[in-house]
């Protein structure tokens, strides 16, 4: 794997090197918050948590106090996985939603709200791995929330888009907290304008001082229930208090001498692993070729078809992860890839589908971490006076009673946020991630192939043109893709849309560690981002 080198694709960013620590994320302010923990004597987990907590303030469009979180941690020569995704309220059923006239789960309002898992993730990871006092991790976020910060261009743009969408709910009581919290000027902030979030500051102080007990059992939990009862929500204090996050052993596939790790369901880290298992049945001479793209497209569709059919809360799954990742099944699925595009169909494995960050320290510890509201600003429900913007992760539930992912009380839904981690010969290569809903598994496959198959360095990996399957035979490709390849794909039956909106293809971060312990960081050229090194 090339860790130095020339660039095949133009970039406005350079790779960053460090030896004592590194934090990569979409916000310069949050990355520096993480780096400050390393300089105080903290480790990679302390840095990642300070960064994650800070992101709830400086990038509230993408994540918040009401988010979920997942992590893969390399610590003391072992890989750990944490699933901190929340469950649905005990009082909410698919029948209740259907009776309200919905055929599919909505994206806004109380119905898609699930228990937030991020604050519990911070507590769990800090207790298990952290070196600094829990309270210290909150200091940068509290400072920015109380004393203000200048909003970045990407965040300002997304904030304005969401203002336009949420205006439709302005007269509904359930959405009053969003307008009070995030439109104090009566409009979205512009790039460079100062943002103040005093409610966030107070809630963060309570979470820090009580190690999140206030959020799940105390005053903040009571405020969530009070507002839910007043405005038609189903979330109750008992839903918060009785929920807990889960340690989960990461799952992996061997891909051309490397071990690619993801977390098991209910997240869809299984999808990129299935796609890589299929793709390794082929050899690829070059990245930018018609045959490479066609096989990538078809493999991604097959993996996603299986993922959307089988992935849900593990207690409800009807297919075993080992069966879906078996070599035999991968060979069978690879054999279904022909010369032309096909409609994706799920297979039968028993017959013959955010903010991401990563951090590392000088001792060799690393973490791949992701947390998300799902939709920008989540459900649009913000608990007044707290800054808690509740996620809409329940929008991924099915209302079909025969589907494994059908909504049920206290069930974890199919989840799109996935951290990745790369190993070789039992040693860590480093964390990686590409945020962006259902783009995430597709981004993981593309960055892994870029580095492993096509010998790109991490920054070149993120700079390269991307594609995204959006359903059926339809794919979106970036406008930087060679027009002759676009036409060739169309001739093979793929329905191709060339997109000018590069932000729709995900935002990635990568850290690599070489044999000398030197860290190499890369960050997304399509949006704000920083690789902060020490």
The catalytic residues are: 354
Going by the DSSP 8-state scheme, the letter that residue 387 receives in this structure is T
Do residues 272 and 303 touch, judged by C-beta distance below 8 A?
yes
Residues 6+ apart with CB under 8 A from 360: 21, 22, 44, 366, 367, 430, 431, 511, 513, 519
Nearest to 10 by CA among 459, 443, 435, 445: 459
476 beta partners: 468, 497
CA gap 204, 198 in Å, rounded: 10
* 495-499 and 474-478 beta bridge pairing: parallel
Tracing tokens 């793709």 back to the chain, one arrives at 279
CA 192, distance to chain mean position in Å, is: 26
Nearest to 56 by CA among 132, 121, 130: 121
Pair of tokens at residue 311: 């992935």
Tracing tokens 């018609």 back to the chain, one arrives at 290
CA gap 270, 444 in Å, rounded: 11
CA gap 427, 398 in Å, rounded: 40
* 68-75 and 366-372 beta bridge pairing: antiparallel
Number of other CB atoms surrounding residue 405 within 10 Å: 24
Residues 6+ apart with CB under 8 A from 252: 259, 260, 261, 262, 273, 423
**Rounded alpha-carbon distances, angstroms, from residue 19 to 22, 23, 328:** 8, 12, 42
What SS3 string covers 394-459? Answer: HHHCECCCCCCCECCCCCCCCECCCCEEEEECCEEEEEEEEECHHHHHHHHHHHHHHHHCCCCCHH
CA gap 476, 337 in Å, rounded: 20
The dihedrals phi and psi of 287, each to the nearest 5 degrees, come to -70, -50
Number of other CB atoms surrounding residue 5 within 10 Å: 12
């Amino acid at each position: 794997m090339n860790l130095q080198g020339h660039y095949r694709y133009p970039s406005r960013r350079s790779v960053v090197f460090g030896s004592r620590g590194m934090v990569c994320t979409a916000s310069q302010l949050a990355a520096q918050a993480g780096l400050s923990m390393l300089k105080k004597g903290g480790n990679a987990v302390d840095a990642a948590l300070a960064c994650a907590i800070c992101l709830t303030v400086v990038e509230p469009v993408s994540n918040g106090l009401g988010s979920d979180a997942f992590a893969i941690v390399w610590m003391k020569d072992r890989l750990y996985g944490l699933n901190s995704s929340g469950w649905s309220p005990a009082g909410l059923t698919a029948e209740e939603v259907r009776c309200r006239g919905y055929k599919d789960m909505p994206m806004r309002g109380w119905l898609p709200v699930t228990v937030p898992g991020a604050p519990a993730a911070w507590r769990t990871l800090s207790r298990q791995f952290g070196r600094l006092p829990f309270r210290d991790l909150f200091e940068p976020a509290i400072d920015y929330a109380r004393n203000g910060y200048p909003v970045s261009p990407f965040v300002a743009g997304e904030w304005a888009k969401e203002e336009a969408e949420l205006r439709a709910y302005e007269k509904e009581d359930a959405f009053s907290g969003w307008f009070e919290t995030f439109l104090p000027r009566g409009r979205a902030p512009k790039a460079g304008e100062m943002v103040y979030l005093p409610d966030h500051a107070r809630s963060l102080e309570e979470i820090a001082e009580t190690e999140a007990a206030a959020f799940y059992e105390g005053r903040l939990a009571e405020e969530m229930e009070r507002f839910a009862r007043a405005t038609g929500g189903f979330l109750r204090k008992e839903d918060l208090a009785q929920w807990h996050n889960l340690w989960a052993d990461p799952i992996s596939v061997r891909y051309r001498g490397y071990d690619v790790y993801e977390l098991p369901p209910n997240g869809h880290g299984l999808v990129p692993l299935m796609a890589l298992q299929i793709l390794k049945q082929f050899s690829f001479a070059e990245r930018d070729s018609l045959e490479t793209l066609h096989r990538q497209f078809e493999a991604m569709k097959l993996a996603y078809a299986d993922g959307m059919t089988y992935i849900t809360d593990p207690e409800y799954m009807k297919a075993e992860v080992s069966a879906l990742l078996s070599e035999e099944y991968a060979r069978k699925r690879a054999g279904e890839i022909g010369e032309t595009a096909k409609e994706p169909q799920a297979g039968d494995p028993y017959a013959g589908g955010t903010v991401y960050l990563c951090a590392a320290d000088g001792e060799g510890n690393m973490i791949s971490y992701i947390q998300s509201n799902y939709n920008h600003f989540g459900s649009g429900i913000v608990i007044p006076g707290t800054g808690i913007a509740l996620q809409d992760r329940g929008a991924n539930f099915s209302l079909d009673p025969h589907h494994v992912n059908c909504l049920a009380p206290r069930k974890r839904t199919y989840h799109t946020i996935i951290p990745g981690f790369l190993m070789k010969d039992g040693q860590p290569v480093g964390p990686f991630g590409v945020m962006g809903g259902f783009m995430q598994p597709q981004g993981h496959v593309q960055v892994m192939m870029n580095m492993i198959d096509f010998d790109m360095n991490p920054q070149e990996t993120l700079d390269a043109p991307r594609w995204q399957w959006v359903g059926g035979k339809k794919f979106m490709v970036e406008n930087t893709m060679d027009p002759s390849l676009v036409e060739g794909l169309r001739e093979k039956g793929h329905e191709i849309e060339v997109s000018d909106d590069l932000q729709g293809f995900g935002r990635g971060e990568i850290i690599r560690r070489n044999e000398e312990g030197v860290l190499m960081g890369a960050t997304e050229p399509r949006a704000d981002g920083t690789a902060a090194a020490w």
